[in-house]
């Protein structure tokens, strides 16, 4: 009698485990199917150049900076100093402390990243990490080999797929336009300048004003890239306003973004025509 009860209990446990596994597999399949449907509905440009979303001021300086990057000395410094001593070390630390976005870990977010990379015609998707230890909500770091870091709370704050595409698209736009190493350098110099209080309040940071002016032009270029990925400029308006003000929901201030407006505008002002 006792043996029969044990067999019955074991059978019930096996049924519960099987049901749980089937449910998990079904949920994952439904999530992947939903991602596939969203990707199929998005329009991918046949061709997309940096100039399609880059502001004029940004382009003017980047022409000179690209010449610096193409220099043999710069490439050698990247390969033998910056990448092994800075980039690889930072990436290794991220791999230990944070969660990397892959097809197995956070597959839905990984699919969004791949979709944005395809829309922007990025040759290679960067490595992306979700972190609880970052000062910026989302940013691209490293010098020679960029990677994207997303604050974990940001994924709870923005649930609309178009909003996530805008945020991811901005960072991929920085990568495509070649901004990353220079923006990282400016951030680090500004952090150092802010600590130099002995020079007087604001005097150290004021020397960075020309660089900060260019950095603002870079951010506008990135906004354009984000709108191309979101496929609705009103999504970009909503996200930027929410990021700047901290308001939980700003849809009532900028309007509903469910209808696609076509993204037609002049270059440098959330522009691109799909």
Quick count: other Cβ atoms within 10 Å of Cβ 73?
8
Domain-located, residue 67: no
Residue 10 lies in a domain: no
Q: Answer with the residue of higher pLDDT: 220 or 33.
A: 220
Predicted confidence (pLDDT) at residue 175 exceeds the cutoff of 90: yes
Residue 82: inside a domain, yes or no?
yes
Instruction: Write phi, then psi, for 125 (nearest 5 degrees).
Output: -75, 135
Nearest to 126 by CA among 158, 163, 166, 170: 170
Whether the model clears a pTM of 0.85, i.e. scores above it, the answer is no
Q: What is the pLDDT of residues 112-130, one digit of tens each?
A: 999 999 999 999 999 999 9
**Residue 85 DSSP one-character state:** I
pLDDT at 192: 80
In a 3-state reduction of DSSP, which class is residue 56? helix
- Of the candidates 174, 129, 170, which has an alpha carbon nearest to the alpha carbon of residue 149? 129
Determine, yes or no, domain membership for 85: yes
Summarize the confidence of residues 15-35 as an average pLDDT. Answer: 47
Specify if 35 maps to a domain: no
Give a yes or no: residue 226 inside a domain: yes
Residue 147 lies in a domain: yes
- How much is the pLDDT for 225? 97
Quick check: 273 pLDDT over 60?
no
Lowest model confidence (mean pLDDT) among 47-56, 98-107, 205-214? 205-214
| Band of pLDDT at residue 205, cut at 50, 70 and 90 | low
163 assigned to some structural domain: yes
- Range of 261's domain? 75-274
Cross-strand pairs, 147:
141
Asked if residue 66 lies in contact with residue 54, where contact means CB atoms within 8 angstroms, the answer is no
Calpha distance 265→217 (Å, rounded)? 17
The chain-wide mean pLDDT, for the chain, equals: 80
Domains held by the chain: number: 1
Beta strands in 164-261 (DSSP E): none
Question: Looking at the predicted structure, is the pLDDT value of residue 5 above 70?
Answer: no
């Amino acid at each position: 009698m006792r043996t029969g009860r044990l067999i019955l209990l074991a059978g019930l446990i096996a049924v519960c485990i099987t049901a749980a596994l089937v449910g998990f597999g079904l949920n994952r399949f439904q999530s992947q199917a939903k991602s596939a449907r969203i990707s199929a509905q998005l329009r991918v440009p046949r061709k997309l150049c940096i100039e399609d979303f880059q502001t004029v001021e940004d382009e003017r300086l980047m022409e000179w900076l690209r010449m610096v990057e193409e220099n043999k000395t710069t490439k050698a410094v990247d390969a033998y100093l910056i990448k092994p001593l800075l980039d690889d070390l930072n990436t290794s630390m991220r791999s230990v402390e944070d969660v990397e976005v892959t097809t197995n870990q956070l597959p839905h977010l990984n699919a969004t990243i791949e979709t944005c990379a395809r829309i922007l015609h990025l040759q290679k998707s960067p490595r992306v990490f979700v972190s609880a230890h970052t000062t910026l909500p989302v940013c691209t770091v490293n010098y020679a080999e960029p990677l994207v870091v997303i604050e974990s709370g940001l994924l709870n704050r923005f649930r609309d797929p178009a909003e996530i595409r805008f945020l991811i698209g901005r960072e991929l736009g920085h990568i495509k336009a070649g901004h990353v190493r220079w923006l990282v350098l400016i951030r680090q110099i500004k952090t150092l300048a802010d600590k130099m209080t002995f020079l007087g309040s604001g005097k150290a940071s004021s020397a960075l004003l020309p660089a900060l002016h260019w950095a603002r032009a870079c951010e506008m270029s990135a906004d354009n890239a984000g709108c191309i990925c979101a496929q609705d400029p009103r999504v970009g308006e909503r996200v930027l306003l929410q990021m700047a003000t901290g308001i939980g929901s700003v849809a009532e201030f900028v309007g509903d973004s469910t209808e696609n407006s076509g993204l037609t505008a002049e270059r440098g002002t959330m522009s691109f025509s799909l």
